[in-house]
Chains A and B, each alone.
Chain A
């Protein structure tokens, strides 16, 4: 995997009617990665995606995709030529049939993959002559995914691709995505607030809260950096302040002192020894715990 970023945002701000949706977002997505973009509802995920695709202009800062400035109209068209997109609402043209939608989208992409088009039409069992307005949400999602995957794109941007889908269709969509990305050299940037699906398919994660990036990096590195150190004492846990870099949470409960850190376990363990606990356990955090801890830290 090369480490040249496909997506870069630096000091990115976006306000709508005085409300800041994105506040100084710094983000890098390396080529070839599958990056899960996590955040609560209203954290700024969709706004960031819209900026990357030229649908919204940043108030300050800049966003680059393939090294091109996303808010420049000419560069934005070049970015979109190499990018597949599935929006949260899977808004397609209700008056077109599936076959018309596919023909329509194919006309804009010189690298359109007819082989994949036929494969996904069969795999997703999409009825070619049915109007989009008559498709279920699951079918519409599959069609939107087909239209994004067949573009011959270098980058896939997916905004809550599985929102509103039942678990069976969610799994089908994710499997299709993983298989596709495994076979084609491409970068995937997808937003979600479903942590399980990010864990399932992503190798990188960026967590955004209130418009700012609070965690970003390779999933393995993030998992290594975040840990919970549990100390048990003979008597009541001491109230002494634990001075170590990366401490984001300290909880006392009777004889137990729990410290959550984003700076790895070693500095905490070293500092904890001075408190003379009876035992020290280092427990890795799940992505869900990392997500909640980072939001707590930001709050």
Chain B
């Protein structure tokens, strides 16, 4: 029943996220013909960082694989998955209004309480990342293109592993603060700060967002094993810290 409770707590965040991402994935695929028509209108010489971005996006959009990676995996899904990882990771462990004392009076260990909540949230994040991404190979024939199922799976896996770091951060913060707003806002602020650093340093090798987008795989065909292992390790550490903090604290 703890699973059911976790589902009830997170279902609206999850369902809204799933609906938005499914629409977004379908939109990304179905607008490709319009994007192709607009490409000749992109001016060849635009100065500055913005110009560089426009040129890069236009260059990538000349191939369908590049377009999908750029508009979906690097942009839409990375941004949405970061947001929903934080939203799904934010829990009401300590909130009296959320029934914290009633939950603690149940004959269940605190470790199991956090574990079930984390597992439910991660499963939802997994669905949010994989299901809309799998829509892309399915819908691509509708615009006369083809996108490999394997690529969709690999990009989704990179994104899920990297986003689980933000999920773990929100989960840990939820065991520190008694309300749901501070964990949510702090985790979002951290995600935003990482994005700013990423932009400022032009996607450094150790960038979380670069890992999320699967850029290394897209450009070289190789999996970023080091980054994936580091992200998985960081996420696991944050989850263990959340369990340890929740287990040791007084109410």
Contacts and interface: CB of A to CB of B under 8 A. Distances in A.
B58 to A, nearest CB: 47
From B4, B100, B107, name the one whose CB has the most chain A CB atoms within 10 angstroms: B107
From A73, A78, A91, name the one whose CB has the most chain B CB atoms within 10 angstroms: A91
Interface in A127-163: 144, 147
Contacts of B105: 53, 55, 80, 83, 85, 87
A254 interface: no
B1 A93 contact: no
A93 B99 contact: yes
Interface stretch (A100-108, A179-187, A199-207, A279-287): A100-108
A93 B104 contact: no
A103 B8 CA distance: 14
B103 to A, nearest CB: 8
Given A16-B250, A50-B251, A55-B250, A108 B107 contact: yes
A77 B101 CA distance: 14
Contact of B106 (A16, A78, A80, A103): A80
Nearest to A80: B107
Given A55-B250, A103-B1, A95 B106 contact: no
Given A93-B98, A103-B1, A107-B1, A77 B107 contact: yes
A16 to B, nearest CB: 7
Contact of B107 (A89, A94, A109, A144): A109
Interface size class of B (residues with CB under 8 A): 20 to 34
A3 to B, nearest CB: 27
A23 interface: no
Contacts of A109: 107
Given A91-B96, A94-B98, A55 B251 contact: yes
Interface residues of A, number: 32
A176 interface: no
A19 B218 CA distance: 58
Contacts of A258: none
Nearest to A16: B250
A147 B101 CA distance: 13
B106 A91 contact: no
Contact of B8 (A96, A108, A147): A96
B5 interface: yes
A95 B9 contact: yes
A108 B109 CA distance: 12
A101 to B, nearest CB: 9
A81 interface: yes
Contacts of B100: 91
From B8, B9, B100, B250, name the one whose CB has the most chain A CB atoms within 10 angstroms: B250
A127 B101 CA distance: 23
Contacts of A91: 96-102
A154 B78 CA distance: 52
5 smallest CB-CB distances across A and B, nearest first, come from A81-B107, A107-B1, A85-B105, A56-B250, A55-B251
Given A53-B105, A56-B250, A91-B99, 4 more contacts: A55-B250, A77-B109, A87-B101, A91-B97
16 contacts: A50-B250, A55-B250, A55-B251, A56-B250, A57-B250, A77-B109, A87-B101, A89-B96, A89-B101, A91-B98, A91-B101, A91-B102, A93-B98, A94-B97, A96-B5, A109-B107
